[in-house]
């Protein structure tokens, strides 16, 4: 038996998405830049997908650009804002995904001022400090803060950040890779300059995503080449991926409330089982406040087997992670856990869920953990 509890790293493709992609592989294989009938048919499919994505976040069609995924989308927003919009300063925080932090390091080497807003022990942004930072300089500023953290699940208030940015005439970028398709996001209701999505986080294919760029911000191409994506990203479009993304996003939006209620129940069940049965279990992030319901970051106490806990779970048939999948090839210390001062002597495992998980999956996990971490002594009545 194999139980997959690493859905923050990737999700399985739903059968409906696979079925939507098959005709593109079998029949509609024309190049969308070709002017003949085969090309025009495929071009129409891309634009239909663009319209669906735009409608689902309240954007206009001309504000959606398809990319290879969240990393490219975030790089594009940050680096093009500096290059094309005269941004001289970026405010972010220390718990962003590495694709944002490494982009900031690159921009800092080019002379861009980078300031980090404080986060508390649960990873929540200090909004007063954000205002202080914005008030401290007249330089053209971009604020880049993720919607929900991929490791600990802490969720930030997009509306509040947007209002602060507007009050100080700052641009606002948010990495929404973990929340897109899981929470309602509307750029009509929340003024935002840039946001990102990645299909494989909501049961679509890997290697495709999108970036929303507000029409107020005119950028030049991130990838030079042909005239694809309205001259914003050269290269033949990943039509198969775009169709899969569109279908997966449509399903995620249509079933959002039902899926959330189901996953919330699973997450609560795991929390209760861990707390009831095991010694000294703690949870990282804003786990009982404003959180990403697909993620539960669990802190296990020191024990003889704690160091190999993740590997032991894998051997037992459970796929989970110690943090971001993008940096877990070698199990290094998490920059997120370090930033929130999580105990370095403890072992953190991130369990993340989808609507395909079951309570039987959780029971299987609990049973395997009994041999791996200290249990509470059961007192007979």
Q: What is the pLDDT of residue 180?
A: 98
Of 6, 8, 10, 7, nearest to 208 (Cα)?
10
Angle at Cα 176 formed by Cα 184 and Cα 291, nearest 5°?
A: 70
The rounded distance, in Å, linking the Cα atoms of 152 and 350 is 7
> What count of residues does the chain have?
381
In this predicted structure, what is the pLDDT of residue 39?
92
DSSP secondary structure string, 205-229? -SS-EEEEE-TTS----SB-SSSHH
Rounded to whole angstroms, the Cα distance separating 373 from 281 reads 10
Question: How many Å is the Cα radius of gyration of the chain?
Answer: 22
Site of tokens 């930072």: 133
User: Which contacts (CB < 8 Å, 24+ apart) does range 301-307 have?
Assistant: 301/346, 301/373, 301/374, 302/345, 302/346, 302/347, 303/373, 303/374, 305/372, 305/373, 306/346, 306/347, 306/373, 307/347
pLDDT per residue as tens digits for the range 29-58: 999 999 999 999 999 999 999 999 999 999
Domain ranges within the chain, ordered by starting residue = 3-11+255-369, 15-254
Alpha carbon 39 to chain centroid distance? 33
- Cβ-proximal residues to 218 (8 Å cutoff; 6+ apart), any chain: 84
Residues labelled catalytic: 326
Hey, what CATH topology would domain 15-254 get?
3.40.640
Closest CA to 337 of 375, 283, 373: 283
Question: Which residues are 299's β-sheet partners?
Answer: 282, 348
* pTM for this entry: 0.94
Integer Cα distance of 233 and 63 in angstroms: 13
- With b for 16 or more beta-carbon neighbours within 10 A and e for fewer, the 303-327 pattern comes to eeebeebbebbeebebebbbbbeeb
pLDDT the model gives residue 324: 59
Written as tens digits, the pLDDT of the chain (381 aa) is 899 999 999 999 999 999 999 999 999 999 999 999 999 999 999 999 999 999 999 999 999 999 999 999 999 999 999 999 999 999 999 999 999 999 999 999 999 999 999 999 999 999 999 999 999 999 999 999 999 999 999 999 999 999 999 999 999 999 999 999 999 999 999 999 999 999 999 999 999 999 999 999 999 999 999 989 988 899 999 999 999 999 999 999 999 999 999 999 999 999 999 999 999 999 999 999 999 999 999 999 999 999 999 999 999 999 999 865 554 444 568 999 999 998 788 999 999 999 999 999 999 999 999 999 999 886 444
pLDDT for res 231: 85
pLDDT of residue 165: 98
For residues 217 and 206, give the distance between their C-alpha atoms in angstroms, rounded to a whole number: 28
Helices (H), the chain: 15-26, 37-57, 70-84, 98-109, 127-135, 158-167, 228-231, 239-254, 256-277, 309-315, 335-339, 359-369
pLDDT value, residue 148:
98
The domain made up of 3-11+255-369 has a fold known as 3.90.1150
Handedness of CA 220, 224, 227, 232 (dihedral sign): negative
Helix axes 239-254, 15-26, angle to 10 degrees: 150
Residue 327's SS3 state is: helix
Contact at 8 Å (CB) between 264 and 293? yes
| pLDDT tens-digit series, residues 196-252 | 999 999 999 999 999 999 999 999 999 999 989 988 899 999 999 999 999 999 999
Closest CA to 188 of 67, 55, 64, 292: 55
State how far the Cα of 166 lies from the Cα of 200, in Å rounded to an integer. Answer: 32
CA dihedral sign, ordered 24, 27, 31, 33 = negative
Q: How far apart are the C-alpha atoms of 165 and 160, rounded to whole Å?
A: 9
């Amino acid at each position: 038996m194999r139980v997959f509890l690493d859905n923050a790293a990737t999700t399985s493709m739903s059968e409906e998405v696979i079925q939507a992609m098959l005709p593109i592989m079998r029949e509609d294989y024309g190049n969308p830049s070709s002017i003949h009938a085969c090309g025009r048919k495929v071009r129409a499919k891309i634009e239909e997908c663009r319209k669906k994505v735009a409608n689902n976040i309240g954007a206009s069609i001309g504000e959606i650009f398809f990319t290879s995924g969240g990393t490219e989308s975030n790089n594009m927003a940050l680096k093009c804002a500096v290059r094309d919009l005269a941004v001289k300063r970026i405010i972010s925080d220390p718990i962003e995904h590495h694709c944002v932090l490494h982009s900031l390091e690159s921009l800092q080497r080019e002379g861009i001022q980078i300031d980090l807003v404080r986060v508390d022990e649960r990873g929540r942004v200090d909004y007063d400090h954000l205002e202080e930072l914005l008030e401290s300089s007249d330089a053209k500023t971009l604020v880049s803060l993720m919607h929900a953290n991929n490791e600990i699940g802490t969720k930030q208030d997009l509306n509040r950040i947007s209002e602060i940015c507007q009050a100080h005439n700052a641009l606002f970028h948010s990495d929404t890779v973990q929340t897109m398709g899981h929470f309602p996001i509307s750029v009509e209701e929340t003024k935002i300059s840039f946001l990102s999505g990645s299909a494989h986080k909501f049961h679509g294919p890997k290697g495709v995503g999108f970036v929303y760029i507000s029409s107020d911000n005119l950028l030049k191409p991130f990838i030079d080449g042909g005239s694809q994506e309205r001259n914003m990203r050269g290269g033949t479009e990943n039509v198969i991926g775009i169709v899969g993304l569109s279908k997966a996003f449509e399903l995620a939006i249509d079933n959002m409330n039902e899926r959330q209620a189901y996953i919330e129940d699973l997450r609560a069940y795991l929390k209760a089982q861990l707390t009831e049965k095991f010694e000294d279990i703690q949870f990282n992030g804003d786990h009982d406040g404003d959180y990403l319901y697909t993620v539960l970051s669990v802190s296990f106490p020191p024990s003889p087997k704690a160091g190999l806990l993740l590997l032991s779970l894998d051997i037992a048939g459970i796929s989970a992670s110690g943090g971001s999948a993008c940096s877990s090839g070698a199990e290094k210390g998490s920059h997120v856990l370090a930033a929130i001062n999580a105990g370095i002597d403890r072992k953190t495992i991130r369990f993340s869920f989808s609507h395909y998980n079951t309570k039987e999956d959780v029971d299987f996990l609990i049973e395997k953990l009994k041999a791996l971490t200290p249990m509470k002594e059961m007192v007979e009545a």
